[in-house]
């Protein structure tokens, strides 16, 4: 059914109309799961709460890798406190980078040894051997680690109703079989991570594009949608707004979301092979620049909006957020200059109310980068997963404390909290050594007195 374009133009686009978390009752509100957290928890306690279900699995793999690849490693088994101290040191290194890792221990004319790192790991090999062991993590371990976190992360946070499914691209220059080529992106060869993030910036699911696996994006999206269903009661699913781009959105996904009662909005491709796309292409290919055409299905529950802006290609939206071709004013920026333009309301819903969630998370990832060269993709993937957990714990920390703390400040607090137990352990060893040295000196003095008497 063709719907005429409304001649009425509303005021500036109202974003609050489509962000519906305020309609949830206090018992069902979005945010951190208070069964696991409280407002007095420190940064490290929040991080360790998320990481506690996986720490044994990680330590087992690291210790077995060290035993296999570093037979001369004589610093003992990597314990929980040892690993958290190593992690705090690594955070310190990416916050205050030097030209190479060995510079943190070396003394030269221009630099001095880093006192924070030196106090934790007096011997450089204690730190570097663990770092090098990440070269040799198994593919099976990384896949299982991904699966475990995908089951853990939704448990600690209830999603806000506005979510998006999109890919996060991480540039990786070294040769890797899992890199994917995309000519439309600034970084042509990258590691692709399929992600689902809500409007608060919390990541619920992530999946690396593993080469050798037959990818069916419908099945991937169905798993992500199931995560939403598990978090919401059936009567609240109508509040959820899910956004996807044309890589994921198709007619089958649209029907699935419609039947579940979930609101959705996404762009679409005409080459999906369905009759609906052929119909749209035949009827809309002659649309002129600046024109807007809207189609709806028989019961007016799904809407296709075909909008040809002044660009070469038209934008095609598939949605059950019914706007009937309404228009609104939108502020556009071009080369630093702002201008007000008339655009379809559905395009503003798509761009302003949730589609940028994964992009926001990607920006948070790039705020503090992995500064040191990772010649092994396995180490890069492992450290990236750690960064994901740090960002999620930062989101939880901000909401628990109800303050807008920067990610850098949070990581500063996190690193200091992570190393506390290890520092206490080193103090007890130092005190024991001093006591042992004192006893030995006393015994030596007594022996000397005895010899003199004789």
Q: Is the pLDDT of residue 176 over 50?
A: yes
Long-range contacts from 288-296, C-beta under 8 angstroms, 24+ separation? 292/5, 292/325, 292/327, 292/344, 293/2, 293/5, 294/2, 294/3, 294/5, 294/324, 294/325, 295/1, 295/2, 295/3, 296/1, 296/3, 296/322
Q: Is the pLDDT of residue 398 over 60?
A: yes
Query: 289 or 328: which carries more pLDDT confidence?
Result: 328
DSSP 289-342: TT-EEEEE-TTS-SEEEEE--SSSSPEEEEESS--TT-EEEEEEEETTEEEEEE
**What's the residue count for the chain?**
454
Q: Is the pLDDT of residue 3 over 50?
A: no
The arithmetic mean of pLDDT across residues 409-429, rounded, is 89
Q: Which of 129-138, 276-285, 296-305 has the lowest mean pLDDT?
A: 276-285
The arithmetic mean of pLDDT across residues 281-294, rounded, is 66
Q: What percent of the chain has pLDDT over 70?
A: 81
- Per the CB < 8 A criterion, the answer to whether 309 and 290 are in contact is yes
Q: Which of 133-137, 175-179, 206-210, 331-335 has the lowest mean pLDDT?
A: 331-335
Alpha-carbon span 315 to 348, nearest angstrom = 12
Q: Is the pLDDT of residue 71 over 60?
A: yes
Residue 1: predicted pLDDT: 40
**Mean pLDDT rounded to a whole number for the chain:** 81
Query: 403 or 291: which carries more pLDDT confidence?
Result: 403
Residue 284: predicted pLDDT: 66
Q: What Å distances lie between residue 4 and 297, 323, 326, CA to CA? A: 15, 12, 10
Q: How many CB atoms lie within 10 A of CB 353?
A: 23
Per-residue model confidence as pLDDT tens digits over 243-266: 998 888 888 898 899 999 999 999
Residue 415: predicted pLDDT: 93
Q: In which band, very low, low, confident or very high, does the pLDDT at 7 lie, cut at 50, 70 and 90?
A: very low
Alpha-carbon span 309 to 292, nearest angstrom = 9
Query: 236 or 325: which carries more pLDDT confidence?
Result: 236
Alpha-carbon span 189 to 175, nearest angstrom = 10
Q: Is the pLDDT of residue 56 over 70?
A: yes
Residue 412: predicted pLDDT: 93
Per-residue model confidence as pLDDT tens digits over 108-127: 767 788 888 888 887 787 78
Q: Which of 49-53, 180-184, 356-360 has the lowest mean pLDDT?
A: 180-184
Residue 5: predicted pLDDT: 43
Residue 266 in 3-state DSSP?
strand
Q: Is the pLDDT of residue 440 over 70?
A: no
Per-residue model confidence as pLDDT tens digits over 93-105: 888 888 778 888 8
Half-sphere exposure of 339 (CA within 13 A, CB side): 8
- Per the CB < 8 A criterion, the answer to whether 12 and 331 are in contact is yes
Q: Is the pLDDT of residue 410 over 90?
A: yes
Alpha-carbon span 52 to 288, nearest angstrom = 58
Alpha-carbon span 243 to 356, nearest angstrom = 9
- List, in sequence order, every residue forming a beta bridge with 330; answer none if it has no partner: 341
Residue 144: predicted pLDDT: 93
Alpha-carbon span 287 to 313, nearest angstrom = 11
Residue 331: predicted pLDDT: 77
Q: Which of 165-174, 178-187, 306-315, 412-421 has the lowest mean pLDDT?
A: 306-315
Alpha-carbon span 364 to 389, nearest angstrom = 12
Q: Interior CA angle at 30 toward 22 and 409, to 5°?
A: 110
Q: How many CB atoms lie within 10 A of CB 51?
A: 21
The arithmetic mean of pLDDT across residues 32-49, rounded, is 91
Domain boundaries, the chain: 1-22+265-347
Residue 145: predicted pLDDT: 93
User: Residues with Cβ < 8 Å from 297, sequence gap 6 or more?
Assistant: 1
Q: Interior CA angle at 31 toward 29 and 34, to 5°?
A: 90
Q: What's the start-to-end Cα distance of the chain, in Å?
A: 116
Alpha-carbon span 133 to 149, nearest angstrom = 21
């Amino acid at each position: 059914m063709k719907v005429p374009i409304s001649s009425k133009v509303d005021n500036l686009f109202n974003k609050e109309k489509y962000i519906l978390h305020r309609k949830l009752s206090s018992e069902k509100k979005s945010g951190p799961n208070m069964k696991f957290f409280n407002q007095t928890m420190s940064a490290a306690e929040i991080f360790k709460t998320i990481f506690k279900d996986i720490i044994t699995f990680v330590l087992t793999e690291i210790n077995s890798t060290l035993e296999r690849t570093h037979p001369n490693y004589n610093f003992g088994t990597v314990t929980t406190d040892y690993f958290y101290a190593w992690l705090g040191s690594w955070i310190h290194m990416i916050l205050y980078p030097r030209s190479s890792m060995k510079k943190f221990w070396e003394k030269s004319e221009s630099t001095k040894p880093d006192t924070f790192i030196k106090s934790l790991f007096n011997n450089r090999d204690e730190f570097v051997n663990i770092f090098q062991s990440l070269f040799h993590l198994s593919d099976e371990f990384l896949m299982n680690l991904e699966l475990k976190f995908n089951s853990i992360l939704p448990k600690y946070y209830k999603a806000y109703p506005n979510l998006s499914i999109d890919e996060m691209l991480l540039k990786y220059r070294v040769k890797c079989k899992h890199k994917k080529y995309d000519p439309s992106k600034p970084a042509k060869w990258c590691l692709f991570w399929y992600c689902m993030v809500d409007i608060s910036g919390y990541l619920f699911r992530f999946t690396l594009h593993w080469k050798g696996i037959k990818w069916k994006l419908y099945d991937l999206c169905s798993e992500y949608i199931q995560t939403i269903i598990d978090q919401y009661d059936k009567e609240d699913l109508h509040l959820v707004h899910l956004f996807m781009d044309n890589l994921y959105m198709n007619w089958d996904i649209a029907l699935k979301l419609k039947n579940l009662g979930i609101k959705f909005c996404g762009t679409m491709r005409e080459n999906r092979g369905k009759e609906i796309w052929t119909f749209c292409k035949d009827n809309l290919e002659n649309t002129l620049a600046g024109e807007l055409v809207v189609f709806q299905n028989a019961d007016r529950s799904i809407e296709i909006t075909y909008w040809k802006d002044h660009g070469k290609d038209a934008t095609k939206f598939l949605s059950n957020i019914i706007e009937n071709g309404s228009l609104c004013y939108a502020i556009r920026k071009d080369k630093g200059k702002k201008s007000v333009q008339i655009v379809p309301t559905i395009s503003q819903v798509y761009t302003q109310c949730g589609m940028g969630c994964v992009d926001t998370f990607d920006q948070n990832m790039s705020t503090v980068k992995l500064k040191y060269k990772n010649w092994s993709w396995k180490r890069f993937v492992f450290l990236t997963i750690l960064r994901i957990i740090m960002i999620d714990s930062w989101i939880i920390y901000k909401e628990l404390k109800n303050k807008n703390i920067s990610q850098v400040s949070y990581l500063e607090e996190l690193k200091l909290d992570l190393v506390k137990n290890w520092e206490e352990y080193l103090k007890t060893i130092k005190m024991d050594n001093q006591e042992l040295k004192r006893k030995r000196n006393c015994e030596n003095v007594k022996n000397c007195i005895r010899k003199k008497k004789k």
